[in-house]
A = this chain, B = another copy of it.
Amino acid sequence: MNLPASLRFHVLPDIPMILAGDDLAAIIAASLERLAVPLADGDLVVLAQKIVSKAEGRLIPLHTVTASERAIELAKETDKDPRLVQLILDESSEVMRKRPGVLIVRHRLGNVGAHAGIDQSNVDHAGGDCALLLPEDPDRSAAELRERLHGLTGCRFGVLIADSMNRAWRLGTIGGAIGCAGFTVLDDLRGTNDLYGRELKVTVINRADSLAAAACLLMGESIQRTPAVLIQGLPPEDSAQSARDLIRPLAEDMFR
């Protein structure tokens, strides 16, 4: 994909609190209309994982969870609610590291981070403590939202579902992509030449995470009520890549 000379990131206005079963595509389409900027094929709709998960009914009341012995033991080691730890284990393929307050796992979708992306902030705990899981298949969710948005708006947007991620050696979270449809997520420049004709041997650019990072910054994490962002300036694309393509294969993991 050719690089543009500028990019614009717009917060989508007036997204209501999302509940299970809400028609997220219709809500986003209505917000895009209110945004009142000319929409174009290639524009990227970035959605916070949280609203996709909520719409898909992934909010789990903890009183419905029974902790296994392993979860109870891990909960003691990490100072956590055993039922929350059970959900983390259910959503993970491997416990990577643990210590009081921290449980780093490999999520079943491949990403390594704290607590399998399970979140308890900005969810309604009125009926008792709850925890919000990642969507079951965020790439599928992104692809479906893309198709519905095409039907509603006539535009071939890319769709990116973003979640805040923590990193081993850097403080503070940044957004990353957990579900993608309709745009290039990895730009593989290996084999092309640099300005001096020297071959680029290792250059692969993670476009999806790069865009997710700035979009999530604009969304905020606390009380902004701005869980969606439109990125304009990207050329139209119809890539078949998905967020799964961003996961480093297990065989290459040097920090297991």
Contact = CB atoms under 8 A, between A and B. Distances in A.
A200 B220 CA distance: 13
Contacts of A217: 3, 205, 207, 210-211
Contacts of A187: 172
A198 B6 contact: no
Given A112-B168, A189-B222, A209 B204 contact: no
A209 B170 contact: yes
A33 to B, nearest CB: 16
Interface residues of A, number: 73
Contacts of A7: 8-9, 214, 218
B206 A222 contact: no
A186 B4 CA distance: 28
Interface string A96-131: 010100101010001110000000111111000000
Interface of A: 3-11, 13, 17, 97, 99, 102, 104, 106, 110-112, 120-125, 164, 167-176, 186-187, 189, 192-196, 198, 200, 203-207, 209-211, 213-214, 216-218, 220-226, 245-248, 253-255
